[in-house]
Structure 1
Amino acid sequence: MKKNRISTKIKLIGILFFILMTSIITTTIYLNKKNEKDALIINIAGKQRMLSQNITKNIFYLYQNKEASFSELENSTTEFIYNLNSLKDGNQLSGIMKAPTDDIAKQLMKVEILWESFYKNINEFKQLNQKNDSFTNLSLKKLIDTIYITNPILLKEIDNLVSMYTNHSEEKSTQLKYIQYFFALLLILLITYSFFELKTMEEHAKKFLEESKKVIEQNINEPLTPIKIEGENEIVEATQTINHFINKINSVMTYSASAIEQSKNASLKLEELTDEFDKVINELTNSNDLSKQLNRSEDIVIQSQEYLINSTKRLQELKNELDKILQTCNSVKSS
């Protein structure tokens, strides 16, 4: 099974953690700003109810007090129209978007139709209230009755509009909160995953150190056993490097031991040949020429024997040096 690199896992966990934290923070900021805008819109929609009531109250007051000022009525009417247009078409200055749903847009249209009729009655009242004759007074009384009847209808539709804005805001806020919960859950899962991954990396590293110590503690007179361990790519690469070094040491030790053994066998064979030559020489002492040839052969054999003995010593020295290396490793491990 292919293992990922430790650095790759750490980078991946870091990137995912950054993305989730950024998503949670961004969602929270967006939710707060949205709540502020929704609160502003709901406040404006609710204010329309207060303005319509204030307009009706002023009409009734002006009807009873014809000399009173129309300024408050004018201000309330102007503000109602401004707010209604802002809700319907949006207002960049106030940061208000136009109707977010078709249902709210239809409700705004219904309020606007009722308002147009109500506004027509307001203008007619302002004209009639300045006159003072019996016919005008009769018409004015009928108009007041009409305003008294139509105002509750307008108030009811404005209440419905406020409720629709409130419900829409709550639904959006709930959706955003669910998204926040989802990101938070992913973050918890990522933290849990990171904990187990780091725990696994730690276990692989500990196992690698334990196996490395076992190599140092092995008998120097026997071939070293390679490390067998699974883990991340860095652990595998380090294991392969150590195993390559172990194989080289085993190869050199095997070769030196074999060469020493062969040299010893060759020396023994030469000793046997020397003894046989000595016997032959003793038997052929009467032949001077043959004796000379045999002496020369004996010298050659002795020289060959000395050469093999020297080779054996050098190979033995090589083996001793390798043993010293392993002993040094053991000393380092003990310290």
Structure 2
Amino acid sequence: MASLGCQPCGHGRREYPLQWRSLPFVSHSEQFQTILAACRANLVACIDGGAVDTCWRERAQWTGDLRMSALALRSLTENDEVIDLALHQIAQSYNPKTALVSGVWPAMQPGEGLPIPGFHLAFCLAALEHDPTLQRDPLVRQVVQASFDAWQQHYYREGLVQGMPGWYFTDWDYSDPVALGRDEGEVLPNAVCNAWWSDWCAFMQPELAIHPTVFEQSFWMGTAYALTTAKTCASPHATATALNASLAMHHRQDCLVYLEQAIATQEINQRVTPYFAYFVALALQQISPQRSLEFAEGFYGSIAQTYGTIYEKTNDEASLAHGWSVAIAALLTQPESKLL
């Protein structure tokens, strides 16, 4: 039997030509430099023209991940075209029946999409953070405006946004039975969605933002905010986003104490991924910019030192370079970062 001949084959890896910014304001802290190097490594792994989910490059754009990748891209690179492409791609998935873009696009079931209300909010905020006047892309502008009008008409009632269909995904927090959004809590008003609605209103129509008293009555648990009106447990996700949206006016100090205690007991590390740790760091700026940076250094530093990238969930069992884990670069590249 004749032997089979083997033909030589080559292999290679293609990387998107990212143009890195010079960062004159960044702290000389070795830990900060390690975190920023890991953020760059994540971007190299996940940018392929758009900003994809993971280093596996499945060519599907997760909407919540884009907002975080966009924050890092604007801080670390000159490549706005990546954000433009990803926003345009997601805008094409808009479903006027639900007033939602797909949580991921292209979706596993083309034409159906995957509705995730929090990720629609992330899309609109990503678009407005990138281009506050929405002049860069007519399709993106149309989707943001049309969906805002539809949410106001169909989902904004009794002082809250509620009743949106889909998967109420918040973060990989297994200690909160509603955080993954696959439980009964998904049909209830969601604190993170309401906080991000208020952030959206700040760009579009500030008078429609959630009133702090309504938010307090709906989600306050005595020490912190709950993720839904079921009030199953205090939530670092709800509490951080409430602070960031100026909805914790009556309990600002209580919320900051709760976050500090959660950090001290390692609860934050157990419940919050690198995705949402960015929002915790943002909330801690209300104590001081230095406290925010200290938290960022402690949370992300050991991950970056160990792996050279920043992983997805609350452990290292998932991908080690993820598109939603890099927004912290936006805080570390602010002039205040020279405090450390």
TM range (shorter): under 0.3
| Larger radius of gyration between Structure 1 and Structure 2 | 1
After TM superposition, the score normalised by the length of structure 2 is 0.18
- Larger RCO (CA under 8 A, 6+ residues apart): 2
